[in-house]
Amino acid sequence: MSQIKIYHNPKCSNSRNALAFLREHGHEPEIILYLDTPPTRQELQDIIQATDVSARALMRSKEAIYGELRLDNPDLTEDVLIDAMLAHPVLMNRPIVITPKGTRLCRPPELVWEILPTT
């Protein structure tokens, strides 16, 4: 099993580019198609903690559902935002890459470089 995971959406150019970057550098990550297989609450909480950002920072505010659910309300708690991402995985920003060197939201995809293990 790979020591690298990527929460991937093949329709997203940033996600495709991050995956290509990993492969170009000799890594074949475990690909998690998070729209089909969303993370568990604990996995999502672990990702948020590992990236050292808020749940809001990992959300896609451009998605229609973001506005429909009024997720721009600054009074919403982390738990409410996490619940929204679990219920609507499309709200998760991507790609999220996890390596032994760290976890990053890789937008732009070149941020993978910061956590790329040496082969």
CATH of the domain at 11: 3.40.30.10
User: Which DSSP symbol is given to 79?
Assistant: H
54: in domain: no
Contact assessment for residue 97 and residue 103, using Cβ atoms and an 8 Å cutoff: yes
Q: Which one of the listed residues 4, 11, 12, 107 is annotated catalytic?
A: 12
Number of independent structural domains in the chain = 1
Positive/negative CA dihedral, 4, 84, 58, 11: positive
115: in domain: yes
**Position 1 pLDDT exceeds 80:** no
User: Which DSSP symbol is given to 30?
Assistant: E
At residue 80, the 3 state secondary structure works out as helix
pLDDT of residue 119: 58
66: in domain: no
Contact assessment for residue 28 and residue 117, using Cβ atoms and an 8 Å cutoff: no
pTM (two decimals) = 0.92
pLDDT of residue 117: 84
pLDDT in tens, 22-80: 999 999 999 999 999 999 999 999 999 999 999 999 999 999 999 999 999 999 999 99
Q: What confidence category does residue 118 fall into, taking pLDDT thresholds of 50, 70 and 90?
A: confident
Cross-strand partners of 98: 5, 103
12 is catalytic: yes
102: in domain: yes
50: in domain: no
Percent of the chain with pLDDT over 70: 98
Helical packing angle, 41-51 and 78-87, nearest 10°:
120
Q: Which amino acid is at 76?
A: L
74: in domain: no
